[in-house]
Structure 1
Amino acid sequence: MSTNDPPMDVLVLGSGPGALAIAAALGQEKLRVGVLSINEPSDPWPFTYGIWGEEVDQLGLEGLLKHRWSKTVSYLGDGSTDQNSPKNNAIKHNRDYGLFDKNKLQKHWIDQCNEGAIKWFRGEAYNLEIDNITSSVKTIQGERIIAKLIIDATGYEPVFLNVPKNGEIAVQTCYGIVGEFSEPPVEKNQFVLMDYRSNHLSQEEKEEPPTFLYAMDMGNGKYFLEETSLGLAPPVKLETLKARLHARLKQRKIEIKKIDHEENGVFLPMNIPIPDLNQSILGFGGAAGMVHPASGYLVGALLRRAPSLAKELASAIKDSNKSPSEIAKQGWETLWPKELRRKQALYQFGLEKLMRFPESQLRYFFKSFFSLSNNQWYGFLTNTLTLNQLVAAMWTMFKKAPLNVKWGLMEMKGRELKLLWDFVKPSI
């Protein structure tokens, strides 16, 4: 970009879901937007993205799904008794669940960007300068790009954002395969959110951090199976997840006939702190701590929140008297208002507890959780409850929980007290 060119209104750093979501929304607001990334925005994304049916329906984007299931269940028994015992019956969720067609989702945002005449830049940002009028980024390739506001959406290790260090980051790890099997590993048209049955493990393995199976019928004789660790620090190793998935299948006398795709270790940080809200650049997506600490969901939040944030930024940028710092401050207040920060502290408190629960305690916890009303547990997982509704749901679950879960929730072993304090008095 020539120094004689007029500055961009916003420069977005990154090319993943977070970057494309906010760039598209800003383009729809008729702002002059640039996107700077190392990769081409159309380069394939490596991961799968799920969303609840109601979420995508409310956004009018159900056409972006590749698969959708109405037969959604979890298995929270230990599996050690007769498989037909009520103890091991499926818990029916009575809610649709979908997987995005990654290519369609990516194209949806890129098309919106192109409609908004987004300018694309290739390069790696390494230097940031901000004054009272503009911000600028220099690239390793020697280009200088000027904008009113910089948004860092470069993922879980952002380039420029200042994110506080609040201890170890809990990481969700997964090992998955899409393929064909000697017997159906799940029922026809079934989606399994969580299968915590552990009768394929030795007693010694049951003492180790628990993992669960996330699985679905993909149709045409194809199935997706993923052994998952909810979130731990340090994370469960890939070799452990792979061995457990194979042991699970072996115990059920199911053989892998063909592997079409292998997800060799997905590492998702779950409890990234909220960034410093006083800095002069803005964040979005994983870089801004928007991953749900209790569920790992992100895309639904991107789709819901990008348009409202873009509107607020457009209003601020149109005020020629506002500095980059003032625009960023308005953006942070929209992205992380006090209520959302308090909710985030509660979610992180919950994750801190679950990280320490052994296998049996974790199963009882989720049994209590899914005994909440359908709207309560759904709102918890999607972060769509108000603060008061969230507190009410958590209190109801605590009352329903067995004694060992109650004790686990009350026992303070790590960062719980600090997180409770963040709930009472969230940081600025």
Structure 2
Amino acid sequence: MAEPVDVLVLGGGPAALCIASELNQRGVAVAAIAPDPVDDPWPNTYGIWADELKAVGLEQLLEHRWSDTVSYFGEGGSTAQDQSHAHGIDYGLFDRAALQHHWLKRADGVVFHQDTVQRVEVNGATTNVCCASGSTLQARLVIDASGSRTPHIRRPDQGPVAGQAAYGVVGRFSKLPIEPGRFVLMDYRCDHLSEEQRHEPPTFLYAMDLGDGVFFVEETSLALAPGVPYDVLKQRLQQRLDLRGVEITEVIHEEFCLFPMNLPLPDRNQPVLAFGGAASMVHPASGYMVGSLLRRGPDLAQALAEAIANPSLDSAALAQRGWQALWPIELVMRHQLYQFGLGRLMGFNEALLRTHFATFFSLPREDWFGFLTNTLPLPRLMGVMLRLFALSPWELRRGLVLGAAQDQAPRF
């Protein structure tokens, strides 16, 4: 058995590297374990509002940045219904290699083990992690940052978990799929769909100009349990492009994404701590998480570093300090509000959902930005939700409070 460390982090993705690097910067003895090499390229793209990175001084980690950021909330098919809504705030796409290198550099000195975790056993003062190779690693605290599907973190069963599903293509096209130099957050136009499809769960286009004639176009479902199948998303993306006379001439990369939007918060009394998707840190309203990692990682690491300095605290006590720092009651209540809202939106058909987002983005920019980034204090968040309700037409108010009427609910 290897010599015990202060903290053993499970995982090798953004969440794992974030918390391992922050702990390492505070002098904590850290090791990590993941089934793949920690410097393997990450497959998925990560987007973020540029002001989120500006707040933490990391704007240099963006590979692409757009000032022309818009959404479409009309049904399409006419000049009025094809009008775009300008967001007036920059959006960026991470340089994944730069983000990975940033965290690996700050994690210099962390020992990374390539192995597969089979069991996590808490034994009072320390916790053992038993691996597929037969080796056992030991730490005062284990942090599971291996993703939402981890078997090592307990959480209540609250029914089916809704997933945000997306199918996308990075490629070249016969003509421009969107305006040059533009980023499209949500295109809910539905003039490419049949009448039957319009009664099914809505999807939207998320798209961006990557430069040099390359575009990323992705058909996305906000959230559904179970998630919208990839073949449905692929078909709808093709229909959307066909209507506008756009053909894919070269596929550089295909992206398939499915991640949980309303995963219940973990049992915060368990003696193993979690971070990232394993800790339900995906924003229930937007599906974003990297900004949250960058904001919340340092505070969690500081709380843990102070707790670890006390040699009398065992694994359970250290985990308890971590859970309290990661999920204080303020954040728990905000999370519950977001989950309630998502539950309502999942019951909206495309017409009601378009009305909702058109109303939401008519709020002052600082309100909708704070809502989507989970940076509003609880009283202000509640005020924004009340303001949204006041601005909403009657049918939307009814849907937000009581749920959508039967004839406004989507169905396959």
One-letter amino acid matched to 2:82: N
Q: Is the 8 A contact 1:152 1:159 kept in 2?
A: no
**Cα deviations by residue, 1:174-230 (Å, 9 ceiling, x for unpaired):** 110111112211112110000000000111110111100001111111111000000
Determine the structure 1 residue equivalent to 2:346.
Answer: 355
Q: Quick check: 1:178 aligned with 2:209? A: no
Which one of 59, 83, 88 corresponds to residue 94 of structure 1?
A: 88
In the TM superposition, what are the counterparts of 1:18-33 in structure 2 within 5 Å? Answer: 18-33=15-30
Counterpart in the other structure of 2:239: 247
Match of 1:424 in 2: none
Indicate the residue corresponding to 1:109 in structure 2. 103
| Structure 1 counterpart of 2:393 | 402
Among 181, 185, 205, the residue aligned to 1:189? 181
- What is the distance in 1 between the residues matched to 2:154 and 2:197? 39
Secondary structure of the 1:12 match is strand
Match of 2:280 in 1: 289
How far 1:252 moved relative to its partner?
0.8
Distance 1:254 1:37 in 2: 41
Q: Given that residues 191 and 215 in structure 1 are in contact (C-alpha distance below 8 angstroms), is that contact kept between their aligned partners in structure 2?
A: yes
Query: Contact 1:125–1:159 (CA<8 Å) still a contact in 2?
Result: no
Cα distance in 2 for partners of 1:97, 1:246 equals 25
Alignment counterpart, residue 169 of structure 1, candidates 158, 161, 171: 161
Q: 2:323 aligns with which of 332, 336, 354?
A: 332
Residue of structure 2 in register with 1:126 after alignment: 118
CA contact (8 A) 1:135 1:146 kept: yes
Q: Secondary structure at the match of 2:296?
A: helix
- AA at the equivalent of 2:47: G
Q: Is the 8 A contact 1:72 1:193 kept in 2?
A: yes
For residues 13-92 of structure 1, what are the structure 2 equivalents within 5 Å?
13-80=10-77, 82=78, 84-85=79-80, 87-92=81-86
Aligned residues: 405
Q: Distance in 1 between matches of 2:244 and 2:122?
A: 60
CA contact under 8 A between 2:45 and 2:93: conserved in structure 1?
A: yes
Deviations 1:238-287 (A, max 9, x none): 11111111111111111212111111x21111111110000111000000
| Separation in structure 1 between the aligned mates of residue 7 and residue 379 of structure 2, nearest angstrom | 35
Q: Quote the Cα distance in structure 2 between the aligned partners of 1:213 and 1:189.
A: 16
> What CA distance in whole angstroms lies between the structure 2 residues aligned with 1:252 and 1:127?
52
Q: Which residue of structure 1 lines up, in the alignment, with residue 250 of structure 2?
A: 258
Matches within 5 A, 1:261-410: 261-263=253-255, 265-410=256-401
Q: Could you list the per-position Cα deviations for residues 348-373 of structure 1 after superposition, in whole angstroms to 9, with x for gaps in the alignment?
A: 01110111100000000001100111
Supply the distance in 2 between the matched residues of 1:179 and 1:122 (Cα, whole angstroms): 34
Q: Which residue of 2 aligns with 1:418?
A: none
SS at match of 2:340: helix
Q: Residue in 2 aligned with 1:426?
A: none
Q: Does 1:158 align with 2:150?
A: yes
Helix, strand or coil for the counterpart of 1:384?
A: coil
Map Cα deviations across residues 315-352 of structure 1 (whole Å, 9 max, x no partner).
00000111111111110000000010000001001110
2:347 and 2:403 in contact (8 A); partners too:
no
Q: Secondary structure at the match of 2:39?
A: coil
Gaps of 5+ in 2: 405-412
Structure 2 Cα separation of the partners of residues 290 and 368 of structure 1: 26
SS of the equivalent of 1:88 reads coil
Instruction: Give the drift of 1:111.
Output: 1.2
The one-letter amino acid paired with 2:303 is E
TM-fit CA distance, 1:127: 2.1
Aligned 1:215-226 pairs, distance under 5 A: 215-226=207-218
The range that moved more, 248-257 or 129-138, is: 129-138
Root-mean-square deviation over aligned CA pairs: 1.2
SS, match of residue 10 in structure 1: strand
In 1, are the aligned partners of 2:24 and 2:30 still within 8 Å (CA)? yes
Question: Within 2, Cα distance between the matches of 1:316 and 1:64?
Answer: 31
CA distance, structure 1, for counterparts of residue 403 and residue 210 of structure 2:
42
In structure 1, give the amino acid aligned to 2:85: I
TM-score scaled by length of structure 1: 0.93
Show structure 1 runs of 5+ residues with no match.
414-428
Q: What is the DSSP-based 3-state SS (H/G/I as helix, E as strand, rest coil) of the residue aligned with 2:372?
A: helix
Alpha-carbon distance, 1:412 to partner: 4.7
Distance 1:367 1:16 in 2: 35
State the SS of the aligned residue for 1:232: coil
